[in-house]
Amino acid sequence: MYNSFDDLDLSSVPNISNLSELNNYLAKLQNRIQTLELENKTQRNALQELENQNHDIIAVLRQRHPKSMLFNESFLIRAMAVWGHYTAFQSIIFPFVFIFALILFMAGLLHFPVQP
């Protein structure tokens, strides 16, 4: 609500000398107010439609978002999820690396036998 009259521009107010000029001026102001109220209503409706669209988009994104602990808000739960992924990856990769290293070690023993 506009409480300060210090910033009010009085240069646009016409000099009113009789009652009919006052009525014309008030009618113009009333039409202007109605136009502004209509624009305000239109803007509010447009804003409401955008909010509804945003809620729909957010709902779709939440449905498509992976249900993983990696996206949890708690730091501790995210840390445990990362550690669990690391452990699972290590347990899958380790046997292959171990077998490869064992083959290299055996090949080295065959090629360079140990002298007692």
Neighbours of 81 (CB within 10 A): 16
Token digits of residue 17? 């000398």
Q: Is 73 helix (H, G, I), strand (E, B) or coil?
A: coil
| pLDDT value at 89 more than 80 | yes
Task: Report pLDDT digits (tens) over 22-47.
Answer: 899 899 999 999 999 999 999 999 99
Residues 6+ away with beta carbon under 8 Å from 71: 65, 78
The pTM (predicted TM-score) of the whole model is 0.42
